[in-house]
Amino acid sequence: MAMNTQGRPTAPTAGPAGGPETAAPKTFTGNRGLDVEEKLIFETGRLEATGVDVEDPGEFQSRLGAHARKAPIGLPGLTEPETMRHYVRLSRQNYAIDLGLYPLGSCTMKHNPRLNEKLARLPGFGDVHPLQPLSTVPGAVDLIAELGRWLLELTGMASVAMSPKAGAHGEYCGMAAIKAAIAARGETRSIVLVPESAHGTNPATAAALGFKVVPVPAREAGTVDPEAVKARLSSDVAAIMLTNPNTCGLFERDVVAIADAVHEAGAYFYADGANFNAIVGKVRPGDLGVDAMHINLHKTFSTPHGGGGPGAGPVVLSEKLAPFAPVPFVRFNPDGSGEFVETRKQAGDTATPFGRITAFHGQMGMFVRALTHMMSHGADGLRQASEDAVLSANYVKARLSDVMTVAFEDRPAMHEVLFDDRFLDGTGVTTLDFAKAMIDEGYHPMTMYFPLVVHGAMLIEPTESESKASLDQFIGTLRHLAGKAKAGAVDDFKSAPRLAPRRRLDETRAARQPKLVWSDPADEGRAEAAE
């Protein structure tokens, strides 16, 4: 089929009987009702104009030196209505948790309560500035301290660093504390053990800190064998980075034995907290032998996924690692208040924190949202949220196991369920094809091809936010697509999505020949990227 330069078909797609797939007429604008065909911002704006009036500064002496701009900035100028319309129209082409179920596994795309947003905008929270004197924000400091207390209570740990700005930032913080603790012992351990099913940030974090990453294979049951860990332990191992529940959606039942073996070897146990949503109020990581764990406030305590930020990834630490956490830190006072302290050094203390991990004290808006979520639910409500998340995943598993293949059938799932592509064998349909077809049904695809320990992985995490009706519709959709694939409708899958604003692109070409700078098509021909 012929495609135009923006990836849309130039003629209606043929339907089953050879007729047009849709009766929608061609329009002068290219729009289809409220689905507005939005141009690039460079095509809408004008490079020679700006939407803001700026007075001529007159003669002045620039202090930029060699850093001064030597050419026009090259950004399009738009009026305020043009700007608003552009981004609102783009937002209509994107999926969001406010539109429907977001089944991304290992991401915990849960509802963001509006109460959280209301409180985050209160004066004193919404307008606090990181450069304000601490004496002017005692309430904000107390809130950070209270959130820290909740995190310590829920995890059973001894200390918390609130300043990391995201999960990966928290990983770096926790592993940097481990590296500092090892250095304080006069040792130079250089190896970190990472299970093959780990999040990609785990080995990346270890490598960024100068460690050599040694993988630990998953056994057939999808979990880590303590004997495999013991076989890789030595005096050169600094830590293990383990996710529990793991990325296969399974609880690591041998976690205590793994922790004991790691500690006996003089190493530390870092837990990836990405899947904490499955066990809040049920299991305390500190009781399992964990020494450090980051907590994704967006995954577990309902703060928004940032789209690049803002984020928050507090790190809880055991008594052994607490002296090595970054500064400044929040000290909890007996009267319930908190205060920022610039040093952890006590009289006669030889421990040395690794320093600062960020310029300021954390992401205030995320702290307010997370604590609001905790206090509105209470301890019993947080526990029920975990139970409901696990129930949702197991409901999806039970309802789909007869038409899709569950990767690990003999174990109950935790908050996410992992399918593989065996049910597509012989159909000519791939995991990617199946996911693309979900877009036409109005769903964002699940996490695909991850974890790597399962071929053609499809990882689904429905979260506790979804009603039974919502889950039933999602399950019905996947059952329909699975039946369609087995019935031989391979062409429908290969051409999907057909109802999205853009058709399926040549993703291999887009990755190998990306166009990162816009250029006027009048100046150079634009290659077609779509099939």
pLDDT tens digits for 272-316?
999 999 999 999 999 999 999 999 999 999 999 865 556 899 999
**pLDDT score of 23:** 58
User: Please, what is the average pLDDT of the chain?
Assistant: 89
Domain stop point among 344, 373, 402: 373
Domain stop point among 323, 348, 373: 373
Q: In angstroms, rounded to a whole number, what is the distance separating the alpha carbons of residues 372 and 385? A: 15
pLDDT tens readout for residues 442-470: 999 999 999 989 999 999 999 999 999 99
- Asked, for residue 208, whether it belongs to a domain, the answer is yes
**pLDDT score of 345:** 58
What is the domain extent for residue 197? 117-124+136-373
**pLDDT score of 526:** 46
Q: How confident is the model at residue 150 (pLDDT cuts 50, 70, 90)?
A: very high
Select from 177, 157, 169 the least CA-distant residue to 360. 169
Q: In angstroms, rounded to a whole number, what is the distance separating the alpha carbons of residues 415 and 392? A: 7
pLDDT greater at residue 12 or residue 280: 280
pTM above 0.85, yes or no: yes
Q: How confident is the model at residue 519 (pLDDT cuts 50, 70, 90)?
A: confident
**Residue percentage of the chain with pLDDT more than 70:** 91
Mark whether 349 and 473 lie in a shared domain.
Answer: no
362 pLDDT above the threshold of 50: yes
Q: In angstroms, rounded to a whole number, what is the distance separating the alpha carbons of residues 144 and 368? A: 8
Mark whether 203 and 329 lie in a shared domain.
Answer: yes
Mark whether 432 and 338 lie in a shared domain.
Answer: no
Mark whether 489 and 524 lie in a shared domain.
Answer: no
Reported as type and span, the H/E element at residue 317 is strand 315-317
pLDDT greater at residue 407 or residue 343: 407
Mark whether 496 and 514 lie in a shared domain.
Answer: no
- Asked, for residue 78, whether it belongs to a domain, the answer is no
- Asked, for residue 43, whether it belongs to a domain, the answer is no
**pLDDT score of 523:** 67
Mark whether 172 and 209 lie in a shared domain.
Answer: yes
Q: Which tokens is 8 given?
A: 């849309």
**pLDDT score of 325:** 87
Select from 172, 173, 183, 232 the least CA-distant residue to 206. 172
Select from 369, 147, 381, 386 the least CA-distant residue to 284. 386
Q: How confident is the model at residue 84 (pLDDT cuts 50, 70, 90)?
A: very high
**pLDDT score of 349:** 55
Q: In angstroms, rounded to a whole number, what is the distance separating the alpha carbons of residues 83 and 226? A: 57
Mark whether 141 and 277 lie in a shared domain.
Answer: yes
**pLDDT score of 342:** 74
**pLDDT score of 524:** 57
Mark whether 369 and 224 lie in a shared domain.
Answer: yes
Q: How confident is the model at residue 531 (pLDDT cuts 50, 70, 90)?
A: very low
What does the pLDDT average to over 163-173?
A: 92
12 pLDDT above the threshold of 70: no
Report the DSSP beta bridge partners of residue 294.
315
